[in-house]
Amino acid sequence: MFETLLSPIELGSLKLKNRIIFAPTSMGLPEDEYFKKIEDIAAGGCAMIIIGDVPVLPTSFGHSLYSKKGFAHYQKLTEIVHRHGCLICAQLHQSDSNLKGMIKYIPGVLSKKIKPQELRPLLNAQVAPYISNLTVKKIKKITTAFGDSAVLVQKAGFDMVQVHGDRMCGSFSSAVFNQRTDAYGGSAENRFRFAVEAVSAIRAKLPDYPIDYKLAVRQEEPHYGNAGVLNEELGIFVPLLEKAGVTSFHVALANHSNLQDTIPGAKHPYFSEEGCFLKFCDQVRQYTSLPICGVGGLVHPEFVEQQLKEGRIQCAAMSRQLVADSQWVNKVAAGEADKIHLCIRCNKRCLGGMMEHKGVHCIYDRK
């Protein structure tokens, strides 16, 4: 019944055992709890887990590939995931947050005068001046670092790399944020230069390594998302990424707006339906024959199978559903789809937990 869903597929030189991928998710959990959650998902039967927001430059925030402790963290993740016959991908990114500009908000956050949901718009407001004023020397340092960090990712045991098309790649690509007048701004080709150079840097260092690109699509009429590219710009951007070395695409709505839009609940005014972002995959498909992974409230095995069988997408990525029931794939394979704890997209303890800095959990969790 679920022949396509459970069938293998090749992404570049990599072969996945089925079509289900755990989408990159910032869990916000203590390390031991995070490792346990990742292991549960890997053991649940999905083909690959994408570890989100792996910084390409050395950093004192989070886990750095360049430090002994940070590298060991990523190495342990690969060991845990591989233990269960699952593949693992590192999502490389460079933050477009102005760290110096963030300092002025710290007192308000600590005193709780600025609520977590109020901080995001304040930080987004600084993106345009920050990236528009980066020196070319700094830009080159960052794009080169995508290649250097990819080498470290491979050494840590990751099977694949994904370039985060939001964050700095997305803000450079977007006319909403990019106000530069040099070779990195103005025309679509110029705005896409940062992302293309990042991909090219990886390909130069790793000629045969599979490179996925999280392609963030900005929508107008109605407006959703601020980073990323417009539908009419995909015909320029997608071929440039292919030429640079991308081997597959992971397509979603552009970020840098309300998290309730990029992680929409069941009552969202526009993205309430299952597969709500798959229309962006349809748009990308016009310009590439490479595998496309779709996201957007995917829950029911029957629905996912139909999208895969029709060739609309080649892989399906889930986050909330696999947090709700890590055994989703195993239950489908065992003919027990009726026993799946289906995500109802309430966003209470997943997105809610993220925004309240309590970590990503689910209403199905016992604790």
Instruction: Give catalytic residues, as residue numbers.
Output: 167
CA distance 84 to 61: 29
User: Of all helices (H) and strands (E), which one includes residue 118?
Assistant: helix 116-124
CB 24 within 8 A of CB 48: no
**97-120: b (≥16 Cβ within 10 Å) or e:** bbeeeeeebeeebeeeeeeeeeee
Distances (CA, A) of 190 to 147, 163, 278: 20, 18, 27
Torsions phi, psi of 60, nearest 5? Answer: -95, 0
Radius of gyration of the chain (CA): 19
**Which residues make Cβ contacts (< 8 Å) with residue 124, sequence separation at least 6?**
226, 256, 257
CA distance 240 to 215: 12
> Tokens 């699952």 sit at which residue?
86
Environment class of 187 (CB within 10 Å of its CB; exposed 0-12, middle 13-18, buried 19+): exposed
Distances (CA, A) of 36 to 22, 323, 326: 15, 12, 11
Residues 290, 332, 271, 285: what is their CA dihedral angle, to the nearest 10 degrees?
A: 10
